Structure 1
């Protein structure tokens, strides 16, 4: 059983965060909320998400798995207006999730979840911890587009930097310690990442929040942030791009 109501803008933010990496998703639902773990098809990035029941306007659920095509959910979101509430109810007998937006009812067949894996989240102890406003990272991305296909993240004791270097041009965003919420690292670390993945992850984050970045030399980076009024938690894991000698 699953029956819930959620603000359209909350659901839109949730879908944006997930669809950055995957088109079809398996939600694991219980009485306390819903969660997911998924890896993108190229195995470059991973997402782990948990939405508490308090992120919803109303919420009732038993233990169940719900497979959804996110492109279809986006179609439902287009039916909603500003401030509107979207109602969802699982029809287990017919294998559907029923959405109600105002006086419109949309019935959506569930996606088969039997072949969807539950990836194990690697336990990483990374050297640098940085908390930075997402709006600053989004500015850095805007400056880096069309310069190269990779970007380097650098953390030092008193600054954090995004560096993008192409064949002819370069761009960098350097944030001194007083521009950051916090930075904790004993010596400089850096790692290079695919720009398209990094850009898509950062653009999907709400611009008015702070993201915690965990970084180390040539290791995956972790990005932790909250959504839905801190009632939802998201972790992105992005694999580094290792240059061949």
Structure 2
């Protein structure tokens, strides 16, 4: 197996985010589908989903499905060495997986594969009554703002505006985006929708937004939320999080 992706830093931030939520897991490399990962955190509050389609790679040499069991913190440590303009090469011999940076030189790091099996998780079938698409920096700023106040994040969407709110004994943070403000790219909402979630997960995974072009937030009142990160070359990273019930 040999894969080459044009920007190692995208993988650096995505895997770093995953490592803050899940300790170990299995990357699946499928000859047709591409490079895949789907798993739930130990508490079953959140499900992560990553997909880099076959066509997103400069080199994609895989004869049959390959499963790569890894410790995400170990992989994240290696990928933190990615420099600007480095390409990422991923190879495996069945016992180890290697990550190499192709740039100013060739730097290769090899890790043992773990004997674990990929979780069989079905694609969630949910209908969302609020869909809000924003630029990634708008999303990241909102997370940073509410982090100052509380440990719960609340989304409130209506026909004309989208609010991100958090409150605690310290006080309240309220960030309001309107269609006229220019921060919202697209918004479709039925009536008014609002739901609360544990902020810690959003904070842990916010690093992934650094390499996303846009973020789409999908939710319904007191229902799970799906946060989709649109990456370059048609790749995607998303997480589905259960609502918080106080």
Q: Give 5+ residue unaligned stretches, structure 1.
A: none
Let me know the Cα RMSD of the aligned residues. Answer: 1.9
Q: Map 1:179-218 to 2 at 5 A.
A: 179=182, 180-206=184-210, 209-218=213-222
Report deviation, 1:14.
Answer: 3.1
* 2:12–2:80 Cα contact (<8 Å) kept: no
Question: For this pair of structures, how many residues does the alignment match?
Answer: 238
Distance in 2 of aligned mates of 1:39 and 1:89: 25
Does residue 25 in structure 1 map to residue 29 in structure 2?
no
2:237 partner SS: strand
1:36 matched to 2:37? The reply is yes
Shift of 1:173: 0.5
Is the Cα–Cα contact under 8 Å of residues 27 and 37 in structure 2 kept in the other structure?
yes
How big is the shift at 1:190? Answer: 0.2
Q: Is the 8 A contact 2:129 2:193 kept in 1?
A: yes
Cα-to-partner distance string for 1:161-204 (whole Å, 9 max, x where unaligned): 00111124111110012231111112111001111112223342
CA contact (8 A) 2:194 2:220 kept: yes
Alignment map for 1:144-163 (pairs within 5 Å): 144-163=146-165
Q: Does the C-alpha gap of structure 1 residues 126 and 25 become closer, same or farther in structure 2, counting only changes over 3 Å?
A: same
| CA-to-aligned-CA distance 1:116-152 (integer Å, 9 cap, x gap) | 4222232111211111122112222222224221121
In structure 2, relative to structure 1, the CA distance for the partners of 1:30 and 1:135 (3 Å cut) is same
Equivalences for residues 84-163 of structure 1 within 5 A:
84-92=86-94, 95-101=95-101, 102-114=105-117, 116-163=118-165
- The answer as to whether partners of 2:131 and 2:217 remain within 8 angstroms in 1 is yes
Question: Is the contact between residue 21 and residue 46 of structure 1 (CA under 8 Å) also seen in structure 2?
Answer: no
What secondary structure is seen at the aligned counterpart in 2 of 1:181? Answer: strand
Structure 1 length normalisation: TM-score? 0.88
